[in-house]
């Protein structure tokens, strides 16, 4: 089963915007997926308009809140999760493979031969 996780990697802020301080204007996000030894990822940035109405001070922000802003401002959570899932499924069952060329003979590597040292008389 594929496990997906979302993280905010970085926030860009305006030191002052009107009467508010440290106003988030951009969030860099990443969606990671794993299944056994396979993994996929998708990342991007989302920009925001200056806040109107309720304002959350920077120290009080949560990752879930900022991810919610991203989803509300054009980050298509469903499509990105489908993309990461497809990356993993393509590793498990590759849609395209590159078999050896049929006219090239395979190279056979001989096993090394170990010769024991014989004692000198």
Over the chain (121 residues), the average pLDDT of each successive run of 10 is 98 95 97 98 96 93 98 98 98 94 90 76 63
Position 2 scores a pLDDT of 97
pLDDT of residue 118: 66
**Inter-CA distances, 80 with 33, 44, 84, 119, Å:** 11, 10, 6, 69
**The pLDDT of residue 121:** 63
pLDDT at 113: 83
Residue 37 backbone dihedrals phi, psi, to 5 degrees: -90, 5
Task: Give the model's pLDDT for residue 115.
Answer: 80
Q: Where are the domains of the chain?
A: 3-92
Q: What is the pTM of this model?
A: 0.80
């Amino acid at each position: 089963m594929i496990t997906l996780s979302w993280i905010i990697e970085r926030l860009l802020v305006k030191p002052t915007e009107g009467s508010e301080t440290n106003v988030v204007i951009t969030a860099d996000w990443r969606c990671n997926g794993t299944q056994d030894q396979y993994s996929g990822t998708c990342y991007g940035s989302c920009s925001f308009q200056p806040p109107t109405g309720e304002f959350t001070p920077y120290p009080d922000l949560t990752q879930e809140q900022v991810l919610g802003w991203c989803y509300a401002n054009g980050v298509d959570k469903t499509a990105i999760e489908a993309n990461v899932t497809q990356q993993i499924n393509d590793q498990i069952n590759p849609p395209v493979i590159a078999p050896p060329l049929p006219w090239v003979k395979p190279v056979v590597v001989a096993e090394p031969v170990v010769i024991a040292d014989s004692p000198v008389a």
